[in-house]
Structure formats: C-alpha cells, structure tokens
Amino acid sequence: MTIFICIDDNNGMLFNHRRQSRDEAVLKDMLAAVEGKIWMNTYSSKLFGTVSDKVIVEDDLFECAPEDSYCFVENIPLKTYEDKIEAIIVYYWNRIYPADTYLDLDLKLDWEAADTKEFGGTSHEKITRKTYKRKNQ
C-alpha cells in the first residue's frame, strides 16, 4: 500500500479536525502519479469532488483498500497500519500551520527518501514531494 500525506514543517497534519492546508497542484500531482484509482475516506474525497472520477471513497480505508493500492490519508493515525504501508509519498507544505494532530510515524527511523521533487502550487510557493520507502527494501 502506498500512502499520500501532506504535512507542515512540524510534521503537523490537522488542526481542530481540519486539514492545515490544501493546494490544487497537489491533487493534480497525486492523480498524475497513479494510473489506477486513489482510495480515500469521505473527508478527503471532498477535496476531489469536482476534480476526478479516479477516487474510491471508503471510510474503512486500511481494511478495504488492496495491498497494491494508493491511499490519500489526512485524518487517520498511521502507526497502527504501518506494517501495511510499503511507501509513503509526503507533500511538504514548507510552512508552519497550527497543528494538534501530527504524523505518528518517524520517517527518519525506518524510512528513507527514495526520490524528491519540488513544484509550485496554486497557493504555495514551493511544495516538496518526497517518496519514502522502508530502509530494508
């Protein structure tokens, strides 16, 4: 399973149960990166409402998505499902936002960046995309 996430400079993901930020360029980048469909829960699917029919909405994401699927995750703790995750594609906002929910995986411990890409967003000057894979792979 490959996971897409978005985080700020403090590894923050949410504040008050709401995403910290959004950018249309990230959505397009995600869609372009996946040949098939992207799985996500209802909360995240609202971002894609008018953008793509490549979205599969499933609130029990980690139980239902196939092993080789791509999943966009915004508000689900990942630690519990870490064993199911083969790769993590992280979009860094390169800013600090308010946060009360943080990425609960230590990317420096068990993961290593396989590739990095930078691009401009519609509301962000620079977004950095890093693909992390397990160190033992």
Partner 1 sequence: MRRLHERHISAKISKVVFLLICLPAIMLAVSACGGSAAPASEPEAGEVQKIEEEPIEEKEEDSPAEEQIEKVLSIDEIVTSFEPESSVDIPDYTGEPYVVMNDNIPFFTRTNLPTESFEYYSDLDELGRCGAACANVGQDIMPTEERGDIGQIKPSGWQTVKYDNVDGRYLYNRCHLVGYQLSGENANEKNLITGTKYFNVQGMLPFENMIADYVKETDNHVLYRVTPVFDDDDLLAYGVLMEGWSVEDEGDGICFNVFVYNVQPDIVIDYANGESHPDESRLASAEPDPAEPRDINPDAQNANEPGAQASRESIEQPEPAPAGTDYILNTNTKKFHYPACGSVNQMAEKNKQFYSGNRDDVIAMGYDPCKKCNP
Q: How far is CA 128 from the centre of its chain?
A: 12
Residues 6+ apart with CB under 8 A from 93: 6, 7, 8, 9, 20, 21, 23, 124, 127
Rounded Cα–Cα distance for residues 13 and 64 (Å): 23
Residue 94 binds partner 1 (CB under 8 A)? yes
Question: Cβ of residue 113: shortest distance to partner 1, in angstroms?
Answer: 8
Binding residue (CB under 8 A) for partner 1 from 48, 55, 89, 124: 124
User: Exactly one of 68, 109, 135, 136 binds partner 1 (CB under 8 A); which one?
Assistant: 109
**Beta carbon of residue 118, minimum distance to partner 1 (angstroms, whole number):** 10
First to last CA, the chain: 14
> Segment 31-50, which members bind partner 1 (CB under 8 A)?
none
Contacts with partner 1 by CB under 8 A lie at 7-12, 15-16, 18, 20-24, 79, 92, 94-98, 100, 102, 104-109, 122-124, 128
